[in-house]
Every structure is written in C-alpha cells, then in structure tokens.
Amino acid sequence: VQLGGALDVEAKRRGTSVYLPGQVVPMLPEIISNGLASLQQGEVRFTKSVLMEFSAEGTLLTTDFANSAIIVTRRFAYEEVMPLVENPDAYKGKISAAVRDLVCQMHKFAMLLRGRRFKGGALELNLPEVKIELDKDGVVSGAHEVEYDESHQMIEEFMLAANIAVATELFERKQPIIRRIHSKADRAKLPSLADFVESLGLTLNNFTSRFELQKLVKSVRGKPFEQAVNYDLLRSMKQAE
C-alpha cells in the first residue's frame, strides 16, 4: 500500500474494517487484509513486533519494538488449544514437543498476567457473545452463543500487553494517538443496580468500588440470574469513547 496511493486514500476514508452479520467490509482489499497481512501457516509474513521481557511474577522488565519476519509453525483454531493444554501427552506424534511446550507455557503465563490484572481492579462481565445466523438470502434464521474459554483469554492477554506497550511508548514520545476509554460507571444508575442486586438477596456494600463489583460478578457466576446481574451492571456503565 503506497503512501498517498488509491488504496491508502480509500483505506483512510473507511477508517476501519466494518463487521456485519455474515459479511465484512474490509478497510483494505481481502487479498491484502486476509492474505498478505494475515499470519498463515508456513508463510513468511512481515510484521511489527513488540518484544517484551517479564519477570517470573509477571512484572514487565523491558520492551523493544522491531520490524520482523514471522513464519507460523502451527496454526490452531481456538477449540484445539485447551485440549492440548489439559493433556499435552495425548498429542505426541501429532504436534511437535517444542510447539506443545510453548502452548502450555503461553497458557500458564497468560493466566498469570490475567490474575495480576484482576488483582489491580480489572472488571470483566460474563456476557456471552451471540452470533446471528443468516440463511442463503441473508435473512436472520437463528442465533447461537459463541464458545469462550481460556484459549481466547490467552490471545487477549498478549494483545493487551502489546497494546499497552505501544500506547505507553507513543505517550512518552508525545505522539498523538487515538484510544478507547471506559469512563467510570454512571453514579446516577448505580443505586438502582444496588437495589436490583439486593432484591435478589445479594449484597453490594460499595457500588462505586471496582473490587466490590468484581466480587458481585464472581458471586453470581453459574447462578440462574447471572446474566441478569451482568446486564444490569453493563447498563450502569458508561459507553466506551
């Protein structure tokens, strides 16, 4: 994509790719976005890499940025990852020892980073992603929940760490950047959340504390009203900007 060329101008006009049910309107043509710019098994792909070193406790020690070339040794679908993590020996002869060991280390480290985030007050609502099903004419024919497990969390933690590293670097260089923020919850809506929670026999001692909201989300996990509480909490939050 040449700077100032037709592809560059159109991509800038679109701003992002747009995801619709059953369709994607890409920012760049699919041959680029889903081909040359997409990691594919056995193919060389040129990338920008964030190289990060962490302590055994998950503390960030060093960060470096580099132009790099990546060759994917083994591509996994999300649903293939957790069976491997839970029983790596079952994949002897099918997946190399080096790849099995790396995936297991990735899982262990991602869960360490995730634990640190929640200790710092990160809040995660347990709301399933719903995927719309379309028939051949593009008419809605149904919907189903998308499976979400620790394999998704692994990728999320590494992407988040890289995003924070890039944002921090650009901030320190005083470079203007666009980022999305979640403002604090709407204080006018929080008392109604507390009333709703109490009507279910639950207690929310301090509805302005992220740690208390964290405890609330954890306390309803697996219970019949789990989604109702999570949705009500979501409604009390301000939209991302």
Per-residue confidence band for 42, with pLDDT thresholds at 50, 70 and 90: very high
**pLDDT surpassing 80 at residue 205:** no
Chain mean position to CA 226: 21
The residue that leads in pLDDT, 112 or 237, is 112
CA distances from 123 to 131, 211, 234, 237 (A): 23, 8, 11, 11
pLDDT, the chain, mean: 90
Show the CA angle centred on residue 167, arms to residues 17 and 49, nearest 5°. Answer: 75
Show the CA angle centred on residue 90, arms to residues 88 and 95, nearest 5°. Answer: 70
Lowest mean pLDDT: which of 43-57, 77-91, 130-144, 225-239? Answer: 225-239
Strands 18-20 and 23-25: antiparallel
The residue that leads in pLDDT, 122 or 156, is 156
User: How far is it, in rounded angstroms, from Cα 99 to Cα 88?
Assistant: 10
pLDDT > 90: what percent of the chain? 58
Residue 90: the pLDDT is 95
Mean pLDDT of 111-117: 94
**Nearest Cα to Cα of residue 164 among 129, 102, 122, 127:** 122
Tell me how crowded residue 53 is: count the other CB atoms within 10 A of its CB: 10
Mean pLDDT of 56-65: 95
Helix (H) or strand (E) holding 103: helix 97-119
Per-residue confidence band for 107, with pLDDT thresholds at 50, 70 and 90: very high
* Residue range 69-98, pLDDT digits in tens: 999 999 999 999 999 999 999 999 999 999
The dihedral through the CA atoms of 114, 115, 120, 121 has a sign that is positive
Residue 82: the pLDDT is 95
**Nearest Cα to Cα of residue 190 among 206, 178, 174:** 206
Lowest mean pLDDT: which of 16-25, 44-53, 185-194, 227-236? Answer: 185-194
User: How far is it, in rounded angstroms, from Cα 103 to Cα 77?
Assistant: 13
The residue that leads in pLDDT, 166 or 183, is 166
Residue 195: the pLDDT is 85
Helix (H) or strand (E) holding 157: helix 150-172
Lowest mean pLDDT: which of 84-88, 161-165, 174-178, 230-234? Answer: 230-234
- Enumerate residues 6+ apart whose C-beta is below 8 A from 188: none
User: How far is it, in rounded angstroms, from Cα 2 to Cα 24?
Assistant: 23
DSSP state letter for 147: P
